[in-house]
Amino acid sequence: MSAEIPAPGEMGVTVIDGVGTIRVYSENATSIQLVIFEPDEVTQIRRTIELERGDGPIWSATSHHLRPGIKYALKADGPNAPRNSFNNQLFLIDPYARGVVRQNAREYHCVVIEDSFDWQGVTKPNIPLDELIVYEAHARGLTRGNPKLPDELRGTYAALGHPATIEHLKKIGVNAVELLPIHMFISEPRLMSMGLINYWGYNSINFFSPHPRYASSTAWSQGPQAILDELKTSIRELHRNGIEVILDVVYNHTAEGGGGGLTYSYRGLDNSSYYRMDDNGHFHDTTGCGNSLNFGNPHVVHMVLESLRYWTTELQIDGYRFDLAATLARNEINHFDPNHPLLRAIVEDPIFKDSKMIMEPWDVGLGGWQTGNFPDRFSEWNDRYRDDIRRFWLSDVAAARNSGNHWNGVADLATRLSGSRDIVDGPSGPLGSVNFITAHDGFCLKDLVSYDVKHNQMNGESNRDGTNGNHSFNHGFEGSGSAPEIAAQRRKAARNLMATLLFSAGIPMITAGDERLKTQNGNNNAYCQDTVMSWVNWELSRHQRDFEETFAYLTKLRRENPVLRPKAFGNFNEANVEHDMVKWFNSFGEIMTDENWHDTECRTVQRYSEQRDAQGLPSGMLLVIHGAERVQEVTLANPDGVSELELLWNSAFDVPSDEIENWLPQAKTLVSGTSMQLFRCVF
């Protein structure tokens, strides 16, 4: 395969002095045509231009008809072979198109875009990783139900940057919105035949143009240029308010599906080069979605890099979460390579110097679970964190109710609180771990503490879809309608989970709606549910308002106390400007022993964290965690130099207390069943 790679910015359509040039990649085509349509007659072709092949696999043509606002498509022909799918009757999407419009059920036209935009001097916030609190949200679902928004803006790009949305984000203390996919995508035919759609958007058909359905009706009617400007405006306003925008990007596969899938773009231009296939034309699928892009092909790597550069520069995006990232790092023989050219290029390209790069470090192929194996430049979704924290607060408590014994003690919990050094032991320290309890995929927080099993019947797959390994606990009653006592236990469990997340070393990520205990009625795979069930709820009960108040208070504690968000792994001996000191105490106020660590019924632990500033002045926090349902007497730890302990928060209560209680080290206190207490240390 040719290694001739075009320079950055050359592919697709470029317009200079009113004259456009298009460049298209295809190794195996025998001819490629550029079709230009009449502006007001979408079925009328104004001109057809033959592209010429250069010395390598890049085809090009230049025309004064290619200018901003013009609609165009590609046609390609080539040999009839098992690995090829050429059909010169189909209009194809330019893989580098900045604007795409749907003309009918099967046909899409590209639009030449003008990239100029007035950013009004607003720049990226460049929030340090240790200060980041990521809010994973759906671009439509976040705002669709917000009554403070005008009806015509709900669920749109414009709503993301609206003052009502920004007010909420700032109120709860998050500073980065991670948007589920907004690259243009298509719903699978199977879903559409059932009257459903792909709501989440993990089915991209173009990596350069924003999904048009999230635009306001006004922008939609005006076309791709207006849609792009609407999105840029919201990004600008979020940045103006100190909130970053991270995109969930799906470069691992496309909406063209497997061997029986439809042809929209890549398949028609060069099926055998864009996708991983064997000589018989069978797809090597490591994504579970029918196809996998071929990252052993340097031209596919180049396309992804160009997409990232475009969104980083032209749309000022702050970072990316790479879906099924193990597929992106599979080499020419389909093996995961931590030194893959794509990863290396991201590390070395100065355009991405300040970009957050977050990997979902797995796929469904052989050797696909690669948590902890990506280069140090990348932070990784930590599924071990999710599972261990859920076990401690939920399934272990359920086991004790059922059998009288817990399955785990505090050892795994302490490892996750400390930044998961067993997984991400690199120069990034704990910031190599993106910690989460929930994500778009799986139970939301309210359902995690309310259901023992998934309830996905609405998805039309007889409840076969979605994971069964949830580590959830319904606290004695399945679903809504529980007794007040059970409802109170669930709220406390949710507070414990959220506080553990925000008091852990690493980058915390929460799912939109969890801050106010939204429910999906037990659906742990709501990918095809564009309904009020999936949208963030804006009409809140008293308990939901209380939980949101608690969440905002917890983010405030994390923001105001750097000792709760260390940049490096802790040390048992001393605190200095390079690293904090962390010590662990048992319920008697004594240093934890090996016997304590290995005892599955040792369910109480105290974490003392101490940090020193540049002048050597200390700050410290004592976190008391009790993971059994009985009340526990605890002798508070007595760290060196600490004269007093101020109780800042107790998870036993629905809302934070307005008063700070003062305690002495070594004082005895009663800790409620399954609860946490956070003390600030006075030196």
pLDDT digits (tens, 9 = 90+) for 510-566: 999 999 999 999 999 999 999 999 999 999 999 999 999 999 999 999 999 999 999
Q: Tell whether 35 is covered by a domain.
A: yes
Catalytic residue among 188, 230, 248, 360: 360
Q: Is residue 590 part of a domain?
A: yes
Does residue 419 sit in helix, strand or coil?
coil
Q: CB neighbours of 241 closer than 8 A, spacing ≥ 6?
A: 166, 169, 170
The whole-number pLDDT of residue 200 equals 98
pLDDT of 40: 79
User: Where is 72: in which H helix or E strand?
Assistant: strand 71-77
Q: Are 321 and 246 in contact (CB under 8 A)?
A: yes
Between CA 344 and CA 195 the distance in angstroms is 43
Residue 633: per-residue pLDDT: 98
User: CA dist 515 to 265, 471, 494, 585, Å?
Assistant: 40, 20, 10, 31
- Between strands 604-612 and 581-585, the pairing is antiparallel
| Any domain includes 66 | yes
Residue 350: CB atoms within 10 Å: 6
d(CA 582, CA 572): 5
Mean pLDDT across the stretch 70-89?
96
Count the helix, strand and coil residues of the chain and give each as a percent rounded to the nearest 5.
Answer: 25, 20, 50
Nearest to residue 474, comparing CAs of 505, 453, 497?
453
- Which of 111, 137, 153 is the C-terminal boundary of a domain? 111
**Active site (annotated) includes residue 452:** no
Judge whether residue 3 has pLDDT over 60. Answer: no
Last residue of a domain, one of 111, 145, 167: 111
Tokens in use for 341?
């050219």
Contact predicate 186/290, CB 8 Å: no
Kindly indicate the confidence band of residue 462, based on its pLDDT and cuts at 50, 70 and 90: very high
Query: Which residue from 427, 548, 543, 526 is spatially nearest to 490, judged by alpha carbons?
Result: 543
Q: What are phi and psi of 400, to 5 degrees?
A: -65, -35
Residues constituting the chain: 683
Residues 254/255/258/263 CA torsion (nearest 10 deg): -110
pLDDT over 70 (residue 205): yes
Closest CA relative to residue 443, chosen from 416, 464, 471:
471
Q: Token pair for residue 662? A: 């003062």
Res 41: pLDDT: 79
* Vertex 237: Cα angle to 233 and 242 (nearest 5): 145
Of 599, 605, 161, nearest to 409 (Cα)?
A: 599
C-alpha–C-alpha distance, residues 602 and 521, integer Å: 34
| Domain presence at residue 601 | yes
In sequence order, what are the beta bridge partners of 77? 31
Q: In terms of pLDDT, which residue wins out, 552 or 4?
A: 552
Residue 400 tokens, joined: 């004790």
User: What is the per-residue pLDDT for 43?
Assistant: 78
Give the end of a domain, one of 61, 89, 111: 111
How far CA 37 is from CA of 65, 112, 113, 218, in Å, comes to 10, 12, 15, 23
* pLDDT beyond 90 at 379: yes
Q: What is the pLDDT of residues 17-65, one digit of tens each?
A: 999 999 999 999 999 999 999 887 777 899 999 999 999 999 999 999 9
Alpha-carbon distance values, 654 to 268, 513, 545, 660 (Å): 58, 18, 10, 16
For residue 1, the model assigns a pLDDT of: 45
How large is the average pLDDT for residues 326-348? 97
Considering 323, 412, 447, 530, which one is annotated as catalytic?
323
Find where tokens 């992106």 sit.
328
Residue 79 located in a structural domain: yes
Query: Is 520 inside a domain boundary?
Result: no
Give the tens place of pLDDT for each residue, 145-194: 999 999 999 999 999 999 999 999 999 999 999 999 999 999 999 999 99
pLDDT band at 342 (very low <50, low <70, confident <90, very high): very high
286 to 74, 293, 678: CA distances (angstroms): 29, 9, 44
List beta partners, residue 49: 34
C-alpha triplet 623, 553, 490: angle, nearest 5°: 75
Number of domains in the chain: 2
Lowest-confidence segment of 100-104, 166-170, 348-352, 645-649 by average pLDDT: 100-104
User: Is residue 271 one of the residues assigned to a domain?
Assistant: no
pLDDT of residue 168: 98
Q: Mean pLDDT of all residues in the chain? A: 97
CA 397 to chain centre: 29
Rounded Cα distance between 204 and 323, Å, is 11
Beta carbons within 10 angstroms of residue 120's beta carbon: 9
594 catalytic? Reply is no
Q: Are 680 and 645 spatial neighbours (Cβ–Cβ below 8 Å)? A: yes
Contacts of 421 (CB under 8 A, 6+ apart): 415, 430, 569
Residue range 285-297, pLDDT digits in tens: 999 999 999 999 9
Cα Dmax for the chain: 85
CATH at 47? 2.60.40.10
- The predicted model gives 132-148 an average pLDDT of 98
Dihedral of alpha carbons 390, 393, 399, 405, sign: positive
pLDDT at res. 105 = 82
pTM of this prediction exceeds 0.95: yes
37 three-state secondary structure: strand
The CATH number of whichever domain residue 643 belongs to comes to: 2.60.40.1180
Q: Please give the residue range of the domain that contains residue 24.
A: 12-111
What pLDDT was estimated at residue 157? 98
C-alpha span between 666 and 196 (Å, rounded):
60
Residue 505 half-sphere exposure toward CB, CA atoms < 13 A: 28
Examine residue 42 and state whether it is found in any structural domain, yes or no: yes
Is the pLDDT confidence value at 415 over 50?
yes
Q: List the structure tokens of 48.
A: 């057809």
SS (H, E, C) 265-283: CHHHHHHHHHECECCCCCE
List, edge to edge, every strand of the sheet that includes 675-682: 581-585, 604-612, 618-626, 675-682, 644-650, 661-663
